[in-house]
Chain A
C-alpha cells in the first residue's frame, strides 16, 4: 500500500498550487490512510493540514523539505515529539542563521547534530543524494550514502525514488536503487506532489514564472516538464513502481512509524508559569489582588459595590475552574512591564504627569471585572453593564483573548522588553498569510501570461472585487467586454479563480505575540520578519488558536499615539497635562459637535457612513457612542439591524420628548433582556450568544462553540451549522419557526465582522476623548493628527481643510519657523520640514539643529552653505516652492533663481549635487540680484500638492469656481434646496467606498471649498460611469437631492471627470488668463492626492 510522503502545498510559496486542506481532502477521497505535508523550509500549513486531516480520519504526517547550503534538498519527517522539536529548531536555524531572510538554508552539519526522532529522506531530483550522484559520480555518491547511514542510522536515512514521467527518471531511480542496495539502505517511493489534481499544473507553472519574475515563455528551464506532479491514485503509483515493490511498501512502513507524533496532540505548549515566589498559590494571590483593588474602585457603600462583589466572586470561580489564575497574574505582570516601559518612554516629558495609562484594553476582555481590577482594562464593566459570557464562561474551550492597545512608541519598546524578559527562544510574533486579491492576481498572472502591461494595469485599477469573478469584471469594464473568451484572457480568468485564497507570502499579524514556557522554537519554527529585530512564528492566528497557544495581542493604536502627543503639547502650553480619565464625559458642547456630524479626524466616528448615522441617532453619552462605534459594521448591516435601530431611536426620542415611555418592538418577548438596550436589534457580538441562550436555550457549551465559530476564517459556514440546534431549541420554547428563522438570520450575520460591546465601549470612550481634545485644544489636536498619519478615513489634504473650517490655520513649512514635525504656533499648526518631499527626518533634524546652534538662516546662499550635504538641490527647491524661504524677503521665483546659482543641477554634479566647494566662501553671487515676479495662486496650490501632497493655501475648486459648468452648486447650498430636486455638484474626490455589504452601491465623498458632499452611485449608474467614478480626482455629478432627518445625499444619475464650462472668461475666475483653468485642471489631475478608497 502506497502512502505519499513528499507533498508541497501553497505554503511552499510559489512552489505549490493547492491548499493543505485541498490536499487532505483529495487524499481522503483517493483512499489514502495517511499523507505527509513537506513544504519548503516551513511548517506554515502544517497545523491547518493536521486539523483538516483529523476531521477526515486521515493520519497527518508532519515534515518539511529543507534547503541545504549547496541548494540541494532533503526531506525530513517527524517520527516522534523529539523529532518534531528538532525539525522546528532546524527550520528556525535555516531561517535565522542567514543574512538574507528570503533565502533560508541549513548547514548539513546542523542536521547531523540534531536528527533524533527524524526520518531523513534523500530528497527529490535536486536532493542530497541525487545531487552528489549527478555531480561527483557513483563512487562519491556511495561514500556519501555510507556517511549518511553512519550518521542517521540505517533505519532513519531512506533513499527517495520519484517517477513523474520526466526524462531521466527511470535511469536515476534505478541508479539510486542500486546504490541503496549496495550500501544496505532502504528506498521509498514518493510523488513530489505540488498540486492536488492534475488540472492545477497550469497554476503551478504560473506560480513558478512569478517566483522567477518572468513569463511562462521565459520560465521554460525552471518549470516542470509536465503535469504529473499531482496527488496520484495509489494504484497508479504502485504500477509505476512495479519493478520496485519495496519502495512502495516502505512508504507505508515509514508512515506507520510517524504515528508516534500527532501535531494535534503532542505539541507540549505551556504558558509561562506564574512565579508566585513568596506570594500565595495563584488563585489565592489573584483573589487577594482583586479584592484589594475592589476596595479602591468600588468603596463600601458605592453604587455598584454589591454587583461588583457578586461579579468578582463569579469571575474568580470561573478563572479557578479553568485553571487560569496564573494566566491572569502573568498578564498582570506583563502590564506592569508595560507601565515600566511607558515610564521610560515618557521620562522627561511633561505628559509623564498626566496620568496616562501605558495602554488600554480592547475586545471582550474589557467586560471582565478581574481585568478591570488588574488594570488590564480601563472601562468599568459594572457601570457599563458589560456581559462576561463572550470572554469567560463555564465551558470555555480555549484560553480567552486579552487584547491591549498601546501608543506606537510604547508598543515597540514593550515588544523588545518582552523578548528580554522571557528569552528570545520563548517569544514569537504571530504571522499572517495575505492571500491573493484580484488586483495582485491580475498583475502577477497577467505578467506571467505576457499580457500587455497597460491593459493589465487598467484592469487591476478598475477591478472592484477583492477576489474571484474576474470574468464578470471584464464583461463590465469599458473596452474589455468579450475579452474573457479571448486567448490568454480566458486563462487569466480561470487562473484567477484558482489562485483566490492561496497564501501569497508570510507577513506579521497586527499585534499577536506568543510566549511559551517551553522554548517556542521547539514548538513552531521561527523566522525573521520584514521589520528588523522582529521574529515571527510560522503559524497564523488560526493555527496558533488550534495549537492552544495563548496569544497576547499588543496592538499599536495610532489614536493613542496622537493622544500622547496632544497631551504633551497641551502640557507644554498650559503647564499641566489634562487628566483624560477625569474630564466631563457628558459635556453638551462636545456632544453638540458630534451630533452635527462634525467628526472628521475623530477616532472611529469620522467616516462618511458614521457621520450620516450620528446625525440621525444623536448620541448624548458614552453608551450611545459605543453604539455609534459598533453599528456601522458588516455584522449589524448584514443582519438588517441598522435601519430599524435608527428608526426606533427616533421613535424613542419623540416618545421621550412627549413624556411617554418607549418599548421597542421585539421579534419575541424572550429577547427582551438581551436586546432591550439596543432597541430590539443585535448590534454586539455578545448579544448573539445572549439571543441564542434566551430564544433557543443554548447551553454555555453551545454558546462557547458558537463564539469560536464566529471568529474563524470560515465563520459563515460554521455558524450556519448551528441552525438545527437553534431551531429545535426555539421550538422547545414555543417560538414559531418563522420567528426563529428571522432571528437566526441576524445571528449568522455576525459571521461578518462585528464588535463585542466591551470593545465598542472602550473605543467609544476613546472616540469621546478625541472629540474632547479637539474641542478644547484644537491646535494641539490637529497638530498631533498631522504628525501621526497614516490613520483614519481622511487624507491630510482633507484633514487640513477641516482644521481650517474649525479655525485652525495650517501654516506652510518655513525654514526658520518649522521644526522637524508639525508644531503648534499660537492657535495654528506649522507644518514640519519632514513633510517636504525629498526631505527625511534626518535632514530635517540636521537643518533644525544647525538653526538652533548658529541662528536663523538669512538667505538662500546662507542656507545652501549650512544645510546638511545630504539635502539635495531638488529638496531645497521643494522647500522654496512651498514658501519655506519666503521669510528672506524675495519672491519664490527669485529664491528659486538663487538656488540655481548656488547649486548646479544634479545632472552636472553627479550624485552629490551639493558637493560644490565654492559654497564654503560666503560671497555674494554676481547674478544674485535679478528680479522675478511671484507665483500665482494656482502655481502655489499646485506646488503644495506636488511637494507636500496636500494644500494649505486653498481648495482647487476655489480657483476653478468661475470656470465650472453654470449649473454647479456649492456644497453649502445643498441644505437649502428641496428634497428630490435635480442638482449638479463638483468636487475633489476625498473617499470612495464600495462596501461588500452595500450590494454594488458606491459611496463617493466629494469636497469643494465650502465642505463635503455625499454622493451615492447606484450599480447601474456606476457601470455607465465606472471609469470616472473610480479614477477621476475631480468629479462632476448630476443627480437628485435626498434629504432625510439631517442627512443630505446626492443620488447620482450621471458622473464625469470635471470639465470646464465653454465660456469661463467670467470675471469670477481667480486664474489670470483664459487658458489658465484648463492648464490648472490638467496639471492638477496629475498631482491630485489619492482619494482614500475602501472596499
Chain B
C-alpha cells in the first residue's frame, strides 16, 4: 500500500501468514518507520 501521500503518507507491506494449526494472521511493515504490526480484526 502506498496511499494518502497528500496528508500523512501510509506506505506498508502487508503479508498474510498461515500459522501452525491453520490460523491466519495479517502482518504489515510500516516502510517509513520500519516497524512491524499485526493487523487487528475489525
Contact = CB atoms under 8 A, between A and B. Distances in A.
B3 A226 contact: yes
A227 B5 CA distance: 11
A225 B3 CA distance: 7
B6 A226 contact: no
B19 interface: no
A1091 B14 CA distance: 57
Contact of B6 (A167, A225, A491): A491
A185 to B, nearest CB: 28
A202 B7 CA distance: 12
B35 interface: no
Contact of A449 (B2, B3, B6, B14): B6
Interface in B1-19: 1-3, 5-6, 13-14
A167 B6 CA distance: 22
Contact of A167 (B2, B3, B5, B14): B14
B3 A488 contact: no
A216 interface: yes
Contact of B2 (A227, A488, A491): A227
Nearest to A166: B1
B4 to A, nearest CB: 8
Q: Chain B contact residues (Cβ within 8 angstroms of A): what range?
A: under 10
A201 interface: yes
Contacts of B6: 202, 216, 449, 488, 491
Q: Chain A contact residues (Cβ within 8 angstroms of B): what range?
A: 10 to 19
Contacts of B14: 167
A70 to B, nearest CB: 29
Nearest to B26: A167
A202 B4 CA distance: 9
A488 B14 CA distance: 28
A1041 B32 CA distance: 62
A491 B2 CA distance: 16
Contacts of A216: 6
B10 to A, nearest CB: 10
Interface in A207-236: 216, 223, 225-228
Contacts of A167: 14
B37 to A, nearest CB: 16
A712 B13 CA distance: 46
A430 to B, nearest CB: 38
B28 to A, nearest CB: 11
B3 A202 contact: no
Interface string A399-416: 000000000000000000
A207 to B, nearest CB: 14
Contacts of A202: 5-6
A227 B10 CA distance: 11
Contact of B1 (A205, A226, A488): A226
B5 A225 contact: no
A202 B14 CA distance: 21
A223 B3 CA distance: 9
A270 B23 CA distance: 67
A410 to B, nearest CB: 52
Nearest to B5: A202
A225 B2 CA distance: 6
Residue among B1, B6, B13, B14 facing the most chain A CB atoms (10 A cut-off):
B6
Contacts of A449: 6
A449 B4 CA distance: 11
Nearest to A450: B6
Contacts of B13: 165
A205 B10 CA distance: 14
Contacts of B1: 225-226
Interface in A449-504: 449, 488, 491
A211 B2 CA distance: 20
A226 B12 CA distance: 9
A399 B14 CA distance: 58
A228 B1 CA distance: 9
A936 to B, nearest CB: 54
A202 B2 CA distance: 10
A488 B5 CA distance: 10
Contacts of A227: 2
A943 to B, nearest CB: 48
Contacts of B5: 202, 205, 491
A71 B2 CA distance: 27
Nearest to A205: B5
A93 to B, nearest CB: 38
A550 to B, nearest CB: 48
A202 B11 CA distance: 13
A1018 B14 CA distance: 58
A225 to B, nearest CB: 6
Interface in A487-525: 488, 491
Nearest to B13: A165
A165 B13 CA distance: 9
Nearest to A171: B16
A167 B2 CA distance: 13
A468 B15 CA distance: 41
A167 B5 CA distance: 19
A683 B3 CA distance: 54
A202 to B, nearest CB: 6
A228 B13 CA distance: 12
Interface in A226-264: 226-228
A227 B4 CA distance: 11
A644 B38 CA distance: 76
Nearest to B14: A167
Interface string A144-187: 00000000000000000000010100000000000000000000
Contacts of A226: 1-3
A491 B5 CA distance: 9
A1009 B15 CA distance: 76
Residue among B1, B2, B5, B14 facing the most chain A CB atoms (10 A cut-off):
B2
A216 B5 CA distance: 10
A165 B2 CA distance: 11
A223 B6 CA distance: 14
Contacts of B2: 201, 225-228
Given A165-B13, A202-B6, A225-B2, 16 more contacts: A167-B14, A202-B5, A205-B5, A216-B6, A223-B3, A225-B1, A225-B3, A226-B1, A226-B2, A226-B3, A227-B2, A228-B2, A449-B6, A488-B6, A491-B5, A491-B6
6 shortest interchain CB distances as A-B pairs: A227-B2, A226-B2, A226-B1, A491-B6, A225-B1, A202-B5
Interface of A: 165, 167, 201-202, 205, 216, 223, 225-228, 449, 488, 491
20 contacts: A165-B13, A167-B14, A201-B2, A202-B5, A202-B6, A205-B5, A216-B6, A223-B3, A225-B1, A225-B2, A225-B3, A226-B1, A226-B2, A226-B3, A227-B2, A228-B2, A449-B6, A488-B6, A491-B5, A491-B6
